[in-house]
Amino acid sequence: MEDNIDDISGELDVFEAFPYLQSFPFPDYTMQLDSLDDFAEQADIDPVIIDTASSFVKPEFVNFNYVGKYTKVTLSFYTYDLIFISENVDHIKKLDSVREALDEGLGTTDIITKIEMIKIGEKFLKKIGASLVAGKTFRVLLDNILETNDISIDQRKLNKIKSMYKTVDYNEFNELSKNSIRSYYNIHLHHIKILLGIVIATKIH
């Protein structure tokens, strides 16, 4: 019960800061505001990154939390990114097809399909701003997933996986390795879906 109260309180704080997020269309995600200190402690952010960010804006974040049957994901976005998105969505159309692609990617176990759906999603993100497309942080994320599961993949193949090459023979990996790769791509898909939700919320609020 206490978790539910915390979730509601956290979302009310988000809605006060960003009223349009009350129209966020995906109820599977909960939101909460996060301060610099809390985020840095949880995410072990490099102090240089913190200093760089704090030199031009107070670094605050909105966390989007997703808990599925086998998945628990938290993705954090700078508040200034949310403001940037809200100011740059008027020209973006055909959101339903992007949503369908992301849901297909999250709903399948086929790795190639996940890659194809991510690429559709990233084309959508580029319409907002290229900086929102997943970059170096996601590449390190796969290393962390593999390390946690004590998995080793040849570096050349690993680079292709990070770059979402469809020519990799994913069937050559054992099931634990494939599940780790799927998790990596699923986080990509969640990242895009959250940003899509922010765009939709901005348009309909």
Between 23 and 3, name the one with better pLDDT.
Answer: 23
Average pLDDT, the chain: 83
* Residues 144, 75, 5: CA angle, nearest 5 degrees: 125
pLDDT in tens, 26-36: 999 999 988 65
Question: What is the number of H-type helices and E-type strands within the chain?
Answer: 9, 3
CA–CA gap between residue 61 and residue 81 (Å, rounded): 9
Strand partners, 64: 31, 75
Answer yes or no: are the C-beta atoms of 198 and 75 closer than 8 Å: no
Number of Cβ within 10 Å of residue 124's Cβ equals 22
Task: Give the model's pLDDT for residue 49.
Answer: 44
Ramachandran angles phi, psi of 63, nearest 5°: -90, 135
Task: Give the model's pLDDT for residue 4.
Answer: 52
Please state the domain extents for the chain. 2-204
pLDDT band at 136 (very low <50, low <70, confident <90, very high): low
Q: Which long-range contacts (CB under 8 A, 24 or more apart) does 152-161 make?
A: 153/177
pLDDT in tens, 146-176: 999 899 999 999 999 999 999 999 999 999 9
Strand ranges inside the chain, DSSP E: 29-34, 61-67, 72-78
Q: 159-174: b or e for each residue (b if 16 or more CB lie within 10 Å)?
A: eebbebeeebebeebe
Helix (H, G, I), strand (E, B) or coil at 72: strand
